[in-house]
Structure 1
Amino acid sequence: MESKMNPQDAQVALAAVEQSRSDIADRLVTPWWYHPILGLLVGGLGAVAGSGARLAVVWGAIAAFGVGVYLLATAYRRLTGVWADGMSGGPRARRSVTVAGIVGVAIMGGGAITGLGLELWWPSTVAGAVIAVLTVVWGRHFDEVLRSELRESA
């Protein structure tokens, strides 16, 4: 059976979808403290993982990272009522997440390999600090890109 939709009904439905996307973009305002905490978690994990620390310390850092990210995501959901992961946006948002991941892995990997290869603690610490700062800067940029894409497609 073929359904026949009235063109006016289709326009009303599309307008509702556009308004919904715009409303979600307005709600996706990240609190000022979110990215600095995320930066500390990511940078701290990288600094410890490549520092040559005892295995128990590395596992403790991994556990702290996991719990911290969970608490951060939970707090964000409570504040905004929504959650948007890095791949739920448009092409620019997905590209931003991909590039940030590649850059992050390269910096952390370089710090860890250099530190462990030369038996130095500071390369991974420097890499962790760089990643912490980049997480704050990139995170704020990503938020703007994601909200912009939601509004543009609305």
Structure 2
Amino acid sequence: MSDAVSAQVVADVQQFYARHMQLLDAGDADGWARTFTEAGVFAPPSLPEPVRGRAALAAGVRASAAGLAEAAEVHRHVLSMVHVDPRDDGTLAVRSYAQIFATPRGGEPRLHLMCVCEDVLVREQGELLVKERRVARDDRP
């Protein structure tokens, strides 16, 4: 891997994540799932097994959105410290910090979680997609 990455690739990655996280926060389950490859993998520490495939990814977002609606709470995912490493196989290894802010209806926002995301991004038909995401939470070993 090399640290050399073009400004255009960095801009593309930033735009991708802005759209990706806004789809998630809006509860657009199918739209968010389509930002993964067809066989995309999402491995959060809160689940015993990784989530695999767009249908399962969308189902997870639907369940989360329903839980948040019932709790009358809004979550916003903010990615920062995004570092992009181009790989020899054409994929991009991206490491970022994810802050998840929770705001109860009528309440004060709070930092809910602090995580590190390690993604493998690929281009399919010119579009960036998540092939694999591994998440580590700061509050867990």
What is the TM-score with the length of structure 2 in the denominator? 0.30
Higher share of residues assigned helix: 1
Structure with the higher fraction of residues in strand conformation? 2
Q: TM-score, normalised by structure 1?
A: 0.28
Whichever of the two has the greater Rg, that structure is: 1
